[in-house]
Amino acid sequence: MDSKAIALHLAGNIDISAYRQAIGRKLIFGDRDELFYADGPQYLYVFRYGIVSFYGFDENLMNEVLEALKPFCEGWNRSELTDEMEIELVSDEEPSKVTNNKIELQKSNVEGMRLALLHLSQSVALDHFAGLSDQIMKETREHTNYLEHHGRLDLGGKKLKRYIARVLNINNQISENLYIFDSPEVVWEDEALDRLDRNLKQIFDLKERYRTIKEQGYIIKENLSLFKDIMDHRESSRLEWIIILLILVEVLDLFIMRIIN
């Protein structure tokens, strides 16, 4: 049996706890970050960071799930960020296989399906955060170009602080929601699942894409540190001039008082 698994980016955040209480599907695994459901040949994986993946759903059923999920989403925005993978269910006697365009899983290998949908969803999450990271890199480059050509920043005060806060929030989201180097506990106890886990990470190129995002984050943080130092120096210089002016006013006041007296 061949069918496509698909992962979609839907929102900034999904209320996992509320959705779990409201939905009556058969839950295979759940915690505060994710919910994995199985109902016969249909599998549904919901992630706190706004991504949902499906297997065995036709378009109508998938849209029904999305409509039911919508009230639990914060910042609903069904973007064009998706990823697909062909998954073939084979007999339990055959081993799992991963190629560039298809995964072969035993029909009873529920944990294998969970791994496949997990990494498919992480792939979409990487696309989402890569887009955010690229946008921040572009903006940072514009500020550094302005600094190069004008010898001063076009950011300052509250504007710079808001920019720094935005960058830090994005970096925090990436650190909290991407666990590319971690694997589910069940993988540690099963050699076949461990091999499947490693093969899936390789096929989706998860580790290299994650490293690229993290390296961009380090570059952005270095630039922000420079911007902050420039702002601090500018503020310090302004205070020094204020102090100098106050001293001059005090000296002039004393000089005038002596002349009058």
Residue 171's pLDDT band, with cuts at 50, 70 and 90, is: confident
- For residue 238, what pLDDT band results from cuts at 50, 70 and 90? low
Q: How confident is the model at residue 37 (pLDDT cuts 50, 70, 90)?
A: very high
In the structure, what pLDDT confidence band is assigned to residue 186 with cuts at 50, 70 and 90?
A: confident
List of long-range contacts for 26-33, beta carbons under 8 Å, 24+ apart = 28/110, 28/114, 29/114
**What CATH topology corresponds to 2-109?**
TATA-Binding Protein (3.30.310)
Q: How confident is the model at residue 135 (pLDDT cuts 50, 70, 90)?
A: confident
**DSSP H or E stretch at residue 3:** strand 2-9
Q: Which residues are 43's β-sheet partners?
A: 38, 55
pLDDT at 181: 58
Which residue in 237, 233, 226 sits closest to 163, CA to CA?
226
Mean pLDDT is lowest, of 39-43, 55-59, 248-252, for 248-252
Q: What is the pLDDT of residues 78-108, one digit of tens each?
A: 877 888 999 988 887 888 888 877 888 888 8
Give the pLDDT score at 2: 53
Q: 155 is written with which tokens?
A: 């950011």
Question: Does 176 score more than 60 pLDDT?
Answer: yes
Predicted TM-score (pTM) of this structure: 0.79
Residue 166 has pLDDT above 70, yes or no: yes
pLDDT band at 179 (very low <50, low <70, confident <90, very high): low
Chain segment 190-205, per-residue pLDDT in tens? 888 888 888 888 888 8
The rounded distance, in Å, linking the Cα atoms of 200 and 192 is: 12
| Residue 234 binned pLDDT confidence (cut-offs 50, 70, 90) | low
* Tokens representing residue 248 in the block: 């001059």
Domain parsing of the chain, residue ranges: 2-109, 123-230
CB count in 10 Å sphere of residue 183: 17
State the chain's mean pLDDT as an integer. Answer: 83
Cβ neighbourhood burial of 49 (10 Å; 0-12, 13-18, 19+)? buried
More reliable by pLDDT, 208 or 235:
208
Is residue 55 very low, low, confident or very high in pLDDT (cuts 50, 70, 90)? very high
Q: Report the pLDDT value the prediction gives residue 66, as an integer from 0 to 100.
A: 92
Sign of the alpha-carbon torsion through 50, 56, 62, 64: negative
